[in-house]
Amino acid sequence: MTQTFQLPQQPRPPRATTSGEPGVPPGASEATRLLCAGTYLDAGYRDAVIEELYVREERLAAPSLGYDAARVLAHALRARRLELGWAAAVLGLWAVGFPLSDYLLAVVLFPFLLLAVAVWIRGPQERPAWYRRTPAWWVRWWGRSFLVYAAVTMARAASGSVDQRELLDFFSLFLPDALVAPFFESGVRIQPINAWVALLVLLLVAVCVALQRGRFARALTHELHPARFGDMAADPAELAEGRRFQRLRQRVRVEQHSPLVMYHAAHPFCGAGQAYDTWSLAVELRPDPERREPPLPINNRVILDRIHELLARLRLPSAQAGGAVRDRLRNLEIDECVFLPVAGLPRRDLAPYHQDAFAVHSAESVEEGGETRRHFLRARVGGWEEEVVTTVFVRVHTQGGMLMLEIAPHVLLPVRADFENADRIAHQHLHNSPLGKAVWALARTPRSVALAAVTMGRAAALTWRILTAGYGAAMPDGPARSVRELGSGESASLFQNMDVNRYLKSIQDRVAQGVRQVLKDSGYRTDEFAQKIVNVSGGSTLIENAQGAFALGDNNVVTNTPGTPSGAGGDGNG
């Protein structure tokens, strides 16, 4: 890295599609909407987003392909503020209710904690392993048994039919006698009014749980509704004040869609998804013996321009179909990007994201074939409303009479299934009967105190780290995690996999065709290139010395018989 430039004052505008059709801005895409919804549904995901983009401010943002990480951060912070408010209300009710009930609320505290522990033991999986499911079942039923006993005892205390000795025996079930005996010997006498206060506090906690769920559901059906989400100016999360948030949001929006990618050496393609059959090859540039003229010199720019031209033709529909074609290849995005290591950058705001700086890096790196600074041609297809993003990075280099071709496909899998169901969950809750809402809230009241305590503890730990860890003055670091990758599921549907394979094969075929055309037009042999180019995603097997044999498909075996012609056309060009 030889030069740094000041960041521009304004964020880079969203890229428009080059097919002539209006493109959806990344901040209004369906993938962005579902990731924002996920911050209200999953506290773990929300905390991971805040950790990566808000707490660790020395880390640059990962490339955001088809979504807006800054808007996801805005909703993550808003969801956390709402959750902190409800957690404070729940803990406040318990704090006030304990002395007012003469600590009778302790009767239900132990079974509440047992039920919360049971949820933690079972884990988030729908069908956990037996070694988690079995102890969780045991702890859950013990907690339910204690809770029923506690509820009956508290109801009897409210009616005045429970004496002090019976309460002493109940507390002794889960507390040591050394703690229980002094408590009652000190003169504490449980009155019916204390039991009524305890029951009222529990009822108010259940109301808080119900209102919190209703508030989250309304957020999903109002500002996150598909009909309203496109209006970013009216999004209450975007309007949040706070100097730190405004400053980091500006930086993220500059970094995430820039063609200059500042990367960490351990994971340079962070944000692009899972690597999908990365491959490379090297062929010698041999003059075509059938051409009388000497071969023309070729460079990386000539090859990349030809590949770009052929890839652009993928956007064109057939003449017979006309405007009826809705294939995602019509919105194929083709650009060039330069990867720069973040090591050595003095400050985050000195990253060379300026357009002039990128032009310099692009012009210098396209021919140099460096190890750390790398130039790629990037082709991206955002399928399924930007939920399945297919990106192919192409790098070409000529050195020492050799041509090297590197292709690195990456795929972002669909958004998590529970995020996909956010609209369904919100609709079901809002349109449920009052009885159904009450049952839902009462069933989750036992673990509300533990969740509230965990929420407040996490918020305190996060604030403490921001104040004391010194991330603001730390040396810049590359992105460690991508917001989109954190919110991705584990698999895609059959239709989605079929589309990914179609996009990859179409792009890779055009890349190979472009390289081959440049070799042929410049007067070089193409038969060796035809032998070595392999569509790895198709599972082909290549035998290097096959003398013109070329295999495509699954589990193919290439053999060669002496005397077999090197090419079907017999022109020496494969």
What is the full DSSP assignment across 458-471? HHHHHHHHHHHS-G
Q: Residue 297: pLDDT band by 50, 70, 90 thresholds?
A: confident
| pLDDT given at position 141 | 86
Q: Is residue 173 very low, low, confident or very high in pLDDT (cuts 50, 70, 90)? A: low
What's the whole-number mean pLDDT along residues 239-251?
89
Average pLDDT over residues 138-163: 77
Residue 39 has pLDDT above 90, yes or no: yes
Q: DSSP assignment, residue 188? A: -
Place 519 in a pLDDT band, splitting at 50, 70 and 90. Answer: very high
Q: Flag the least confident range among 40-44, 104-108, 273-277, 547-551.
A: 547-551
Q: Which residue from 300, 307, 270, 305 is spatially nearest to 285, judged by alpha carbons?
A: 300
CA distance linking residue 481 with residue 269, whole number of Å? 10
Instruction: Enumerate the domain spans of the chain.
Output: 274-412+493-538
Give me the pLDDT at residue 389, please: 94
Please give the C-alpha separations between residue 232 and each of 21, 23, 238, 242, 525, in angstroms, as whole numbers.
Answer: 21, 16, 7, 18, 54
Say whether 114 sits in a helix, a strand or coil. Answer: helix
Q: How confident is the model at residue 17 (pLDDT cuts 50, 70, 90)?
A: very low
Q: Collect all residues with Cβ–Cβ distance below 8 Å to 167 and sequence separation of at least 6.
A: 107, 153, 157, 184, 190
Instruction: Say yes or no to pLDDT of 320 above 70.
Output: no
**Nearest Cα to 258, choosing from 350, 339, 141?**
339
Of the candidates 15, 17, 35, 29, the one whose C-alpha atom is nearest the C-alpha of residue 257 is: 15
Query: Which tokens sit at 269?
Result: 């393609």
The per-residue pLDDT for 455 is: 93
The pLDDT of 394-406, averaged and rounded, is 90
Encode pLDDT of 336-374 as tens digits.
Answer: 999 999 988 899 988 999 888 999 999 999 988 888 999
Between 419 and 166, residue with greater pLDDT: 419
Mean pLDDT of the chain: 83
Please, which pLDDT band fits residue 162 given cuts at 50, 70 and 90?
A: low
Q: Using the 8-state DSSP alphabet, how is residue 399 labeled?
A: E
The better pLDDT of the pair 39, 447 is held by 39
Mean pLDDT along residues 502-514: 92
Query: What is the DSSP pairing of strand 260-263 with strand 333-341?
Result: parallel
Closest C-alpha among 561, 394, 414, 547 to residue 488: 414
pLDDT digits (tens, 9 = 90+) for 533-567: 754 434 443 434 434 443 434 444 444 444 444 33
Quickly state the pLDDT bin for 176 (edges 50, 70, 90): low
The pLDDT score that the predictor gives to residue 405 is: 92
DSSP secondary structure letter of residue 572: S
* Alpha carbons 545 and 543: distance in angstroms, whole number: 6
What's the helix, strand, coil split of the chain in %, to 5?
Answer: 50, 10, 35
504 three-class SS: helix
Is 36 within 8 Å of 49 (Cβ atoms)? no
To 10 degrees, what angle do helices 192-221 and 30-41 make?
170
Tokens for 385, please give them: 């409303």
Coil, helix or strand for 533? coil
- Rg of the chain over all Cα atoms, to the nearest angstrom: 31
* Single-letter residue type at 192: P
Grade residue 446 by pLDDT with cuts at 50, 70 and 90.
confident
DSSP 271-292: TS-EE-S-EEEEEE--B-TT-S
Please report the beta strands in 160-264, taking only residues with DSSP state E, as ranges in sequence order: 260-263
22 pLDDT band (50/70/90 cuts)?
Answer: low
Q: What value does the mean pLDDT take over residues 157-164?
A: 67
Report the range of poorest mean pLDDT among 53-67, 231-245, 523-537: 523-537
Residue 10 pLDDT > 70, yes or no? Answer: no
Q: What is the pTM of this model?
A: 0.82
Percent of the chain with pLDDT over 70: 82
- Residue predicted with more confidence, 47 or 198: 47
Residue 389 has which token pair? 């993003």
Q: What tens digit of pLDDT does each residue of 466-494 get?
A: 989 889 888 999 999 999 999 999 889 99
Which has more pLDDT, 110 or 50? 50
pLDDT at 166: 64
**Mean pLDDT computed over 135-145:** 85
Determine the Cα–Cα distance for residues 543 and 550; give it in Å rounded to an integer. 9
Quick check: 181 and 169 in contact, CB under 8 A? no
